[in-house]
Amino acid sequence: MLSIATAQTFQPNYEEANVGNYRLPEVLQTDKGKKITTSRKWEKSMRPKILAKFAEHVYGKFPGRTKDMHFTINSVDSTALGGKATRKQVTIFFTKAADSPSMDVLLYLPNQVKEPVPVFIGLNFYGNHSIQTDPGIQLSERWMNNNEPYKVVNNRATEGSRGAQASRWPVEEILARGYGLATAYYGDLEPDHTEGWKTGIRTTLQEELTIKPEEWGAISAWAWGLSRIMDYLETDKQVNAKQVAITGHSRIGKAALWAAANDQRFAMVISNDSGEGGTALARRNYGETLERINTSFPHWFVSKYKEYNTNVDQLPVDQHMLLALMAPRPLYVASAEDDQWADPRGEFLSAKHAEPVYELYGKKGLGTEQMPAIEQPVGEYIRYHIRTGKHDITLYDWQQFLTFADKHFKQVAKA
């Protein structure tokens, strides 16, 4: 592992010429060198093996739900956002204990749609109250990273934190297009710092889930929470649980991918600027590297991942294989021009190398060898864009995701 001093002086490579030569593990080739040629064989033998490799070498285990998990609907307001939305706030309790570990879910549903709606689901970085100024949203009382502009003081949100990340959550646009939105604070599952596991579900649920804290990383814990939101959505009659699109930005985009790899109830997968340990190919030396991410964020992955710090070529998987686990579900990968740290080209190539698995299902992927120009999305079942601007999730990104969902979910509805 890099020493702290080395990490501080880490010089990322941003020259395509210095990316280095690498050979990706073939997504459709077994360890014995046999080629997989049908979707049946992929599902029966190859897919489970790849999933198990990601669990062992990268993210750790992904347990099922707890036996005594239950939901409490705290509030339903059908006059939210000027009457446009129904706002529900639901707490998911993971055990039956009075002090059960829990997670607070915020759900907005569009009032103009009378039938069960498709829903976007994603975790947020600063509490449910940060996604909208809506005063009816319960203010999170959990630990969160201090942030002056967001008015997070002494690791707690304040009234001034409301709507701090509203630009990342265009709720009105999502609702106007007939979709619901479900979100929860990722820190409800595990506070995002190296000691966070001590108070997060990796510790508090270890007996319930019969899993030791070191058997999974924070990304897996966050991903697990996404599946629990899905458990709730399946019980909500106003939601079309067959049309849930899982989304996530950056580290939460990594978690979204891992959740969707394990849980195929998510019918569409969207990863925004998820970079290293997300969509970007690990073997490319560009921007953030495997060694660097393991040094800065040692709690995100299992300790075995660190064994590849200086020999990424030995890693039995690469991220295109994670993307292949989404097949045949529609997958959207988004990058940003100024987010070179996340390696946009590595994100594009990863999507590209996932295509053979989509082809087994007769589904067209990106349909191009070339990285597209700025703000020229490409692809059918795998879609990709790179927009102008920095590491962020913007209205432009959401508009593309909504259009992608319109295309695929309406096709399903018609079939």
Nearer to ligand GCU, 80 or 333 (CB): 333
Q: What is the dihedral of CA 121, 126, 131, 136, to 10 degrees?
A: 110
Which residues fall within 8 angstroms of residue 403, CB to CB, at 6 or more apart?
none
Q: Among 250, 295, 335, 350, indicate the residue that binds ligand GCU (CB under 6 A).
A: 250
Q: Which of residues 21-50 bind ligand GCU (CB under 6 A)?
A: none
Interface pattern 338-367 for ligand GCU (x via CB under 6 A): ---x--------------------------
Half-sphere exposure of 247 (CA within 13 A, CB side): 28
- We find the least distance from the C-beta atom of residue 36 to ligand GCU, in angstroms, to be 31
Residues that bind ligand GCU (rule: CB under 6 A) add up to a total of 8
- We find the least distance from the C-beta atom of residue 389 to ligand GCU, in angstroms, to be 14
- We find the least distance from the C-beta atom of residue 56 to ligand GCU, in angstroms, to be 21
Nearer to ligand GCU, 347 or 355 (CB): 347
- Nearest CA to 107 among 299, 235, 253, 258? 235
Which residues fall within 8 angstroms of residue 313, CB to CB, at 6 or more apart?
22, 23, 283
Q: Which of residues 62-101 bind ligand GCU (CB under 6 A)?
A: none
Nearer to ligand GCU, 240 or 340 (CB): 340
Q: Among 47, 88, 129, 251, indicate the residue that binds ligand GCU (CB under 6 A).
A: 251
How many Cβ atoms are within 10 Å of 177's Cβ, its own excluded?
Answer: 17
Interface pattern 287-306 for ligand GCU (x via CB under 6 A): -x----x--x----------
Nearer to ligand GCU, 226 or 405 (CB): 226
First to last CA, the chain: 52
Nearer to ligand GCU, 263 or 276 (CB): 276
Q: Does the footprint of ligand GCU cover residue 236 (CB under 6 A)?
A: no
Give 98's DSSP letter.
T
d(CA 73, CA 96): 16
Rounded to 5 degrees, what are φ and ψ at 263?
-125, 105
Q: Does the footprint of ligand GCU cover residue 321 (CB under 6 A)?
A: no
d(CA 415, CA 404): 17
Q: Which is it for the CA torsion 352, 356, 323, 245, positive or negative?
A: positive
* Residue carrying structure tokens 């939601």: 239
- We find the least distance from the C-beta atom of residue 118 to ligand GCU, in angstroms, to be 26
Residue of 100, 102, 130, 250 with catalytic role: 250
Q: Are 80 and 86 in contact (CB under 8 A)?
A: yes
Nearer to ligand GCU, 253 or 365 (CB): 253
At 182 the three-state DSSP class reads strand
- We find the least distance from the C-beta atom of residue 153 to ligand GCU, in angstroms, to be 21
- We find the least distance from the C-beta atom of residue 91 to ligand GCU, in angstroms, to be 26
Return the H-helix or E-strand segment holding 322.
Answer: helix 319-324
- We find the least distance from the C-beta atom of residue 76 to ligand GCU, in angstroms, to be 32
Pairing of strands 102-110, 180-185: antiparallel
250 catalytic? Reply is yes
d(CA 324, CA 352): 10
Identify each DSSP E strand in 252-318 by its residue range: 268-272
Q: Does the footprint of ligand GCU cover residue 276 (CB under 6 A)?
A: yes
d(CA 217, CA 223): 10
Residue of 70, 193, 296, 391 with catalytic role: 391
Nearer to ligand GCU, 292 or 329 (CB): 292
- Give the interface with ligand GCU as residue ranges (CB under 6 A): 250-251, 275-276, 288, 293, 296, 341
**Which residues are tagged catalytic?**
250, 391
